[in-house]
Amino acid sequence: MKHTTKKFEPLTAIEVCCPNCGGLAERHYSLQQALVRTQCPRCDYFMLTCADTGNVVEAYAPGLFMRSLGA
């Protein structure tokens, strides 16, 4: 039997406290891409960071977070 299908490495997910709304958010680690994704289903908070450098690749946070950044 040939193993032709690419094996998708499952993401490791842990529960974290959302920095935006304080709710329950999920943090996913992608070892293949060396990325960490934090996602909150409650407030739509989203952050993508590089697992190696910790640099923020992409971030989105509605509501409170945006207001605290703005005027």
Nearest Cα neighbor of 11 from 40, 46, 38 is: 38
Instruction: Supply 28's token pair.
Output: 């996913």
With binding defined as CB under 5 A, does residue 42 bind Zn ion? yes
Draw the binding track, 11-40, toward Zn ion (x: CB under 5 A; -: no contact).
Answer: -------x-xx-x----------------x
Nearer to Zn ion, 29 or 46 (CB): 46
Query: How far, in Å, CA of 12 to CA of 3, rounded?
Result: 24
Instruction: Supply 59's token pair.
Output: 């971030």
Binding site for Zn ion (CB under 5 A): 18, 20-21, 23, 40, 42-43, 45
